[in-house]
Amino acid sequence: MARYGQSKLSRFWYFARVELRPPMPNEFGQVQQGLQQIVKSASTGGWRQLTVKVYSFFINPFLF
């Protein structure tokens, strides 16, 4: 039983480290492009058309 829980916990921590890490310096260009896309879609009303992936990328940091 303890072994089963330990494997689940180690898997959780693996994905937590990968998914919750801050952006690396080489990814700043992608972040800038994403922010520009958000601003453009907000000004044109296209924010209603955003995908969940794009929306969650910008909203998740504010939820913690």
Domains in the chain: boundaries: 2-63
What is the torsional sign of CA 36, 41, 61, 19? negative
Give CA–CA dist 6/56, Å, rounded: 29
Q: Residues 12-38: pLDDT tens digits?
A: 888 888 888 887 888 888 888 888 888
pLDDT for 22 equals 81
Query: Which pLDDT band holds residue 5 (cuts at 50, 70, 90)?
Result: low
